[in-house]
Structure 1
Amino acid sequence: MLTMPFDRRRALAYGLGILWIFDSLLKIQPAMFHSLLVVNVLAPAATDSQPPWLFHIMMEGARLWIHLGVVANILNFLIEAVIGILILKGPDTTSGRWGLWISLIWGAIVWIGAEGLGGLVTGSPSVIQGSPGSIPFYAAAAILLLVRKDWWTEEHVYQVARYGLAIFWFIAFIWEVLPSSGFWTPNGLAAQFGDITMNGNEPTILQMAINAMVISSQLHPVLENGIYSAILLVLSLLSFFRPKSRWTAIITGVWMIFLWAVPQAFGTLLSGTGTDPGMFLPFTLLAWTLLGPQFPFMHQRQAQSEQAS
Structure 2
Amino acid sequence: MTISRKFVQILLGLIWFIDGLFQLKSKMFTQAFIQQVILPVGQGQPHWITALVNWGATIVSAHIVMWNAAFSAVQILLGIAFMFNFKIRTTIALSIVWSLIVWVFGEGLGQLFTGHSLLLSGAPGAVILYALVAIAIWPKPESSPAEWNHWSVRVAQLSLAAVFALGTLLHLQSSYLQPSGLTQVVTVPWLANAIGQQGAIVSVALAAIEFALAAMLAFQIRLRVAVWTALAVSFVFWWAGQSFGQVLDPLATDFNTGLLMILLALCADPEQFRNFAHHQVSQHRIVS
Using structure 2 for the length normalisation, give the TM-score.
0.82
Alignment match of 1:242 (pick from 215, 222, 234): 222
Answering whether residue 63 of structure 2 is matched by residue 96 of structure 1, we say no
Change in Cα spacing, 1:143 to 1:120, as seen in structure 2 (3 Å) is: same
Check the 8 A contact 1:158/1:290 in 2, yes or no.
yes
Moved more, 126-135 or 222-231: 222-231
- Residue 43 of structure 1 deviates from its aligned partner by 2.0
Alignment correspondent of 2:122: 130
The answer on whether the counterparts of 1:8 and 1:290 sit within 8 Å (CA) in structure 2 is no
Contact 2:183 2:196 in 1 (8 A): yes
Residues 210 and 263 in structure 1, CA contact (< 8 A), matched pair in contact too: no
Aligned: 1:292 with 2:270: yes
Q: Which moved more, 1:265-274 or 1:52-61?
A: 265-274
Q: Identify which of 185, 189, 193 aligns with 2:178.
A: 185
Alignment CA distance shift 1:154-1:175 (3 Å): same
1:33·1:73 contact (CA, 8 Å) conserved in 2? yes
Whether the 8 Å contact between 1:137 and 1:279 is mirrored in structure 2 is yes
Q: 1:261 aligns with which of 239, 248, 257?
A: 239
Aligned residue for 1:202? none
Q: What residue number does 1:29 align with?
A: 25
Contact 2:132–2:159 under 8 Å retained in 1: no
Opposite residue 41 of structure 1, the aligned amino acid is V
1:281 maps to a residue whose letter is L
Q: Deviations over 1:85-142 (max 9, x none)?
A: 222332xx5x333322221121111100010011223345421221111122211222
Matching residue's letter, 2:224? K
Q: Following the alignment from structure 2 to structure 1, what is the Cα–Cα distance between the partners of residues 195 and 154?
A: 37
1: CA distance, partners of 2:35 / 2:190: 21
From 10, 13, 17, the counterpart of 1:17: 13
Does the 8 Å CA contact 1:84/1:99 hold for their aligned counterparts?
Answer: no
Q: Residues 97, 155 of structure 1: CA spacing in aligned structure 2 closer, same or farther, 3 A cutoff? A: closer
The TM-score with structure 1 as length reference comes to 0.77
- Distance in structure 1 (CA, Å) of the matches to 2:276 and 2:153: 17
Match of 2:165 among 170, 173, 176: 170
In the TM superposition, what is the alpha-carbon distance from 1:28 to its structure 2 partner? 0.6
The residue aligned with 1:196 is: none
1:140 aligns with 2:135: no
- Alignment match, 1:78: 73
Which consecutive unaligned segments of at least 5 residues does structure 2 have?
Answer: 283-288
CA RMSD of aligned residues (A): 3.1
Alignment partner of 1:63 out of 58, 65, 68: 58
Name the CA distance, whole Å, in 2 between partners of 1:99 and 1:164: 20
Distance 1:17 1:294, change over 3 A: same
**Contact in 2 for aligned 1:260/1:266 (Cα 8 Å):** yes
SS of residue paired to 2:24: coil
Q: Residues 289 and 222 from structure 1, CA distance in 2 versus in 1: closer, same or farther, beyond 3 angstroms?
A: closer
Distance 2:149 2:138 in 1: 17
Q: CA 1:89 to 1:186, structure 2 compared with 1: closer, same or farther past 3 Å?
A: same
Cα distance in 2, alignment partners of residues 85 and 192 from structure 1: 34
Deviations 1:54-75 (A, max 9, x none): 1011112222232112222211
The percentage of counterpart residues that share the same residue type is 24
1:163–1:65 distance in 2 versus 1, CA, 3 Å: closer
- Residues 1:46 and 1:175: Cα distance change in structure 2 (over 3 Å): same
Extract unaligned runs of 5+ from structure 1.
194-205, 304-309
Instruction: Note the C-alpha offset of 1:263.
Output: 1.9
Give the 3 Å change call, closer, same or farther, for CA 63–210 of structure 1 in structure 2: farther
| Alpha carbons 2:53, 2:105 under 8 Å: kept | yes
Residue aligning to 1:53: 48
- Output the amino acid matched with 1:287: A
Preserved contact between residue 8 and residue 289 of structure 1 (Cα < 8 Å) = no
Q: Provide the rounded CA distance (Å) in 2 between the counterparts of 1:14 and 1:83.
A: 11
